[in-house]
Amino acid sequence: MMKISVIGSGSWGTALAVMLDKYGHDLTIWSWKEEEARRIREDGEHKEFLPGVPIRKEIKIVTSPEEAVKDAEIVIAAVPSKFVRLNIMKFAPYFNEKQIIVNVAKGLEDGSLKTLAEVIKECVPQCEVAVLSGPSHAEEVGRGIPTAAVIASENEEIAKMIQHEFSNPVFRLYTNTDVIGVEIGAAMKNIIALAAGMSDGLGYGDNTKAALMTRGMAEITRLGMAMGGRRETFYGLSGMGDLIVTCTSMHSRNRRAGIMIGEGKSLQETLDAVHMVVEGVNTAQAASELARKLNVSMPITEAITGVLFNGKDVRHVVYDLMMRDKISEK
């Protein structure tokens, strides 16, 4: 049994806590809202973000950063990408050099264009940092539906230790040392899922979605390799696996958001309706900026950024993508 703390009480952090608790670990969840923490304790479930999934009373729900990470051997960072630096800095005084931070958020930091593992390492250099990613909807992990994911760390022994502690009959982890590749696959697939949802919202078919997913994976791979990632990583669980599940499932808030935008809703109307963080929206501008900085061609990403933030019409964007210069497949 290990003492594991989860920073963040959203659907994904809660699902991981429930799963790890079921298989014998000592879990604490940190919420930044006392009222939310109280409701979870009283209800025995997170009715807002993970309804129907029981949360045992043995899982501690706390609001104190110090109490949350005290004596924890592994700390799971499960806050939205745009709040990673803010929250890790809040917890920084309470971390020690023996603790391992496992980031499960997916995105890039605005402004710095850094991956989230880079942000965490910058804030708490005394800690080992690993990244967990893959096709893993919180709704399914919380219910114990068999899931496979990847745990990445530059220190292979750390990855193997987490693999050993987290793996069980319903959650299988593979190790990887390509942290950059795993993070870029995780961040970028959300943008392609927005595109896939927009295609659905426009009433397009399977051909269109397959084209978006395939050419989207080409973009993800180009960017990831330009940043030092390995090609094979993008055809694994954190790349192709996560892309498939996020582009095709109604559990995916990015796909759902894309559908609404494709149907004609504004970005704000869409975000209000989804009522959860849509990481593809948070990541799109940073990804476009990073692509330009590295001189990487990412037409789908640029198109989605134009729709979200520059008032471009979705149908016009599709036309422009279809009528780009004719090139070879690469």
pLDDT per position in the chain (330 positions), as tens?
Answer: 899 999 999 999 999 999 999 999 999 999 999 999 999 999 999 999 999 999 999 999 999 999 999 999 999 999 999 999 999 999 999 999 889 999 999 999 999 999 999 999 999 999 999 999 999 999 999 999 999 999 999 999 999 999 999 999 999 999 999 999 999 999 999 999 999 999 999 999 999 999 999 999 999 999 999 999 999 999 999 999 999 999 999 999 999 999 999 999 999 999 999 988 899 999 999 999 999 999 999 999 999 999 999 999 999 999 999 999 999 997
Which domains occur in the chain, in start order?
A: 3-177 (3.40.50.720), 186-322 (1.10.1040.10)
What predicted TM-score, i.e. pTM, was given to this entire model? 0.95
Burial 115-130 (b: 16+ CB within 10 A, else e): bbbbbbbebbeebbbb
Backbone angles phi, psi at 130, to 5 degrees: -125, 165
Question: Cβ of 204: how many Cβ atoms within 10 Å?
Answer: 16
The rounded distance, in Å, linking the Cα atoms of 135 and 238 is 7
The rounded distance, in Å, linking the Cα atoms of 160 and 128 is 13
Q: Is 144 left (phi over 0), alpha (psi -120 to 50) or beta?
A: left
The rounded distance, in Å, linking the Cα atoms of 246 and 252 is 5
With contact defined as beta carbons under 8 Å apart, do 152 and 178 qualify?
yes
Q: How far is CA 318 from CA 179, 246, 302, 327, in A?
A: 33, 20, 12, 17
Backbone angles phi, psi at 101, to 5 degrees: -105, 125
3-state secondary structure labels for all residues of 6-23 = EECCCHHHHHHHHHHHHC
The two tokens of residue 320 are 């422009």
Q: Is 328 left (phi over 0), alpha (psi -120 to 50) or beta?
A: beta
What pLDDT, on a 0 to 100 scale, did the predictor assign at position 235?
A: 95
Residue 218 C-alpha from the chain's centroid: 19
User: What is the dihedral angle through the alpha carbons of 76, 305, 310, 116, rounded to the nearest 10 degrees?
Assistant: 30
The two tokens of residue 9 are 């009480």
What pLDDT, on a 0 to 100 scale, did the predictor assign at position 277?
A: 87
The rounded distance, in Å, linking the Cα atoms of 168 and 84 is 28
What pLDDT, on a 0 to 100 scale, did the predictor assign at position 263?
A: 97
| Measured CA angle at 173 (ends 168, 178), to 5 deg | 165
User: What is the total residue count of the chain?
Assistant: 330
Alpha helices in the chain (DSSP H): 11-22, 34-43, 65-69, 84-91, 116-123, 138-142, 156-166, 179-201, 206-226, 242-248, 253-262, 267-274, 279-294, 299-309, 314-322
Task: Work out whether strand 50-54 and strand 45-46 pair parallel, antiparallel, or are unpaired.
Answer: antiparallel
Task: Work out whether strand 100-103 and strand 74-77 pair parallel, antiparallel, or are unpaired.
Answer: parallel
With contact defined as beta carbons under 8 Å apart, do 68 and 62 qualify?
yes
Given 47, 189, 312, 330, the catalytic residue: 189
With contact defined as beta carbons under 8 Å apart, do 171 and 21 qualify?
no
The continuous run of DSSP H or E covering 234 comes out as none
What pLDDT, on a 0 to 100 scale, did the predictor assign at position 314?
A: 95
What pLDDT, on a 0 to 100 scale, did the predictor assign at position 1?
A: 86
Verify whether residue 82 is a known catalytic residue.
no
The rounded distance, in Å, linking the Cα atoms of 256 and 194 is 8
